Structure 1
């Protein structure tokens, strides 16, 4: 338990920070959460490579529990524009996180024996895609308004051209697509810290 504690704390911090930052736009099509959440996949993959599938799954589950608990507390704290974390965001985040991260763990483990970059890249790309689809649908789509009727998500359902130049879709679809593209880009960039962190932890354990 002690050896994976840094991973658990890092995972919880990423979940809480992302749940808050996803409510704030960065430019026209992104939220600040798009830049923090991909770190969850980096944490999971490092734990998987260094300590194995079982420990990686434990990091996901414990980080999930701590992160969701903190996020639910955030739903009770009022910020400038309402709750610090809305219930729908907490639900969407929890469902998306657990599904995508456990999928990431399984895919990584199956590709473990290939080239060093193959497992983290493939697992992150697939996990990120699933995560984005689940989170934005639960958190912002109009058909699921019944999950939290008091939370006004009409701003996210304003009809606009996709990323400013495509077919007319709800704003949240453009946010999801932009978020997904950022995650794919960061999946490539994250290979560098993944390699460095794994080497350092492996050398320390030797």
Structure 2
């Protein structure tokens, strides 16, 4: 069941990011980066067993933020991709700050959500610190690496190379930094290593699967089918 839901989640994310780009162009990708950053940091609190591994959720939606910046790099340049990184960074800071203030409110006797919100967002500062550190290092590397490979392999047929060469290294950086800050000491060593490798492997699979969508986005841009 989890494997089926994982594939469904993959399809849903790729479909929605493509729809956002088709409808609103690079603005749609900026919105998606903000959405994916926030959702990923909530989903990551849930661990599941999938494909024989212990993994956290959030891997798919977070990995699509790399897809968004790669599409921006490919179709609109490094400057616009960097802008998306800054938007994602700002979105997570805002979410963390606002939710900590929200939790500080004394709930009314009729309230039923405070304890549940505290479970999810009470841990968010540590998750956010891990995510911000990992996000900053990995996403800026991804933007730099995509441009690096595009200068050496500029042909449209080599999109697969620059997409995967940039993203897969960037996601290794992201996984290393995030799991070290977020989960060191939270889980036993064997579970931590399972989460580390499962997180990276699943992100690697998403990165491999997203390549056709970079080609599709380039095709839409070349045909003039996305807003300027």
TM over 0.5: yes
User: What band does the TM-score fall into relative to the shorter chain?
Assistant: 0.7 to 0.9
Q: Give the number of equivalent residue pairs.
A: 182
2:133 corresponds to which of 95, 108, 128 = 95
The 3-state SS of whatever aligns with 1:38 is helix
1:50 maps onto 2:75 in alignment: yes
| CA drift at 1:96 | 0.4
* Pair 1:59 & 2:84 matched: yes
| Counterpart Cα distance in 2 of 1:201 and 1:65 | 27
Distance 2:222 2:172 in 1: 29
The residue number in structure 2 matching 1:106 is 144
Alignment equivalent of 2:169, drawn from 101, 126, 144: 126
Q: Partner residue of 1:146?
A: none
How far residue 132 of structure 1 moved from its aligned partner, in angstroms, is 0.2
TM-score normalised to structure 2 length: 0.73
Structure 1 or 2: more helix by fraction: 2
After superposition, where does 1:190-205 map in structure 2 within 5 Å? 190-204=210-224
Hey, what does 2:58 align to over in structure 1?
33
Work out whether residues 13 and 67 of structure 1, in 8 Å CA contact, stay in contact via their aligned partners in 2. Answer: no
Does structure 2 conserve the Cα–Cα contact (< 8 Å) formed by 1:16 and 1:71?
A: no
- Contact 2:92-2:128 within 8 A present in 1 as well: no
Structure 2 residue corresponding to 1:139, chosen from 182, 197, 212: 182
**Is it true that 1:174 corresponds to 2:219 in the alignment?**
no
> Which whole-Å CA distance do the structure 1 matches of 2:31 and 2:165 have between them?
25
CA RMSD in angstroms comes to 2.0
The answer for the alignment partner of 1:149 in structure 2 is none
Q: Which runs of 5+ in 1 are unaligned?
A: 143-152, 159-168
